[in-house]
Chain A
C-alpha cells in the first residue's frame, strides 16, 4: 500500500493546476505536499527538503518537466526519486521521450482522482 505520509512535491507553472492536483492528492489521503512553479525552483526544493515523490507538469517556462526529470536522474542524491509526469501531451512520441528519460509513470490531463490513484499505486506497488 502507498504510504500516505510521504512528502510529495507538486510542480506546475499554473497555481490553479497545483491547487487542483493538491485537492486530488488530499482526497487520496496525502496531506504532506510541497509546491514549486517550475523545474528550477523544484530542484531548489529537492535540495533543501526531504521529498519522497515528485508530481510534475511537462510544459513549463525556465525548466520543463522533462528537463527536471533529466536533472533528477543525473543527480547522485536525487536519481532514485519517483517521478509522475502530469501533462496534456498524449501524443506517442511524448510518452516515449518521458519513458526514455526515466519517468516512473505518466498521467494525461484531464484525469480523475481514480486515475491518479492507479498511477501512484503502480509506482509504489
Chain B
C-alpha cells in the first residue's frame, strides 16, 4: 500500500472523532497487520472501490473506548454495546470513508460510494475485500485504544 494513503486516514479519523465526540485521539505508528483478528470489540468495515485503486478499510474500537465516544456523541451515558453503538460505528465508518475519499480525490483517485457493515463481539475477525498487506494505524484515547485497518491496492489488469 502506498504510504501516501496513510495520512488521509490519520487526519480524517482525528477530525471525525474530535468533531463528533469531543475526544482528541492520539495516532500511533502504523504497522503491518499479521493476522485476521480485530484489535477491538466493535468494528465497522467499508469498501473503497476506485478506478485504479481498490480495497477496504475498517475501524475497530475497544468497548470502553466506543462507549465513551457514543456517550459523548449522544450526550447520554451508554453502559453496554447496544444498537446505538452499532449504528454510531456504522456512521463513523461512513464519515471517515467520505472524508478519506475526498482527500484521495485531491490526489487523483476517485472512489465510489459504499455502505458500511458493523461487526461486534470479543475477538472477532476482519476480512478485507482484497488481498494485499493491511496497515494498522493505532489510536489511543483516555478510555482505551481503537484501530484503523487500511488495505488499498492497485487493481489487477483484466486478462
Give the interface of A toward B (CB within 8 A).
14-17, 19-20, 23, 59, 87-92, 94, 108-112
Contact = CB atoms under 8 A, between A and B. Distances in A.
Contacts of B87: 14-17
Nearest to A110: B19
Contact of A110 (B70, B90, B95, B97): B95
Interface in B28-45: none
A87 B98 contact: yes
Nearest to A23: B75
Nearest to A89: B98
Interface of B: 15-16, 19-20, 70, 73-75, 83-84, 87-88, 90-91, 94-95, 97-99, 101-102, 105, 110, 113, 115
Given A88-B99, A90-B99, A19 B74 contact: yes
Given A15-B87, A16-B84, A16-B88, A88 B75 contact: no
Nearest to A112: B19
Per DSSP, are chain B's interface residues mostly helix, strand or loop, or mixed?
helix
Contacts of B113: 59, 89, 94
25 contacts: A14-B90, A15-B83, A16-B83, A16-B84, A16-B87, A16-B91, A19-B84, A20-B73, A20-B74, A23-B74, A59-B115, A88-B95, A88-B99, A89-B98, A89-B101, A89-B113, A90-B98, A90-B101, A91-B101, A92-B105, A94-B113, A109-B94, A109-B98, A110-B19, A111-B19
B66 to A, nearest CB: 12
Contact of A14 (B91, B105, B110): B91
A21 to B, nearest CB: 11
Nearest to B85: A16
A35 B47 CA distance: 29
A112 B15 CA distance: 11
B98 A16 contact: no
Contact of B15 (A16, A94, A110): A110
Contact of B95 (A16, A109, A112): A109
Contact of A88 (B84, B97, B110): B97
B74 A88 contact: no
A93 to B, nearest CB: 8
**B16, B84, B94 — most chain A CB neighbours (10 Å):** B94
A91 B74 contact: no
A12 to B, nearest CB: 9
A96 to B, nearest CB: 13
Contacts of B98: 87-91, 108-109
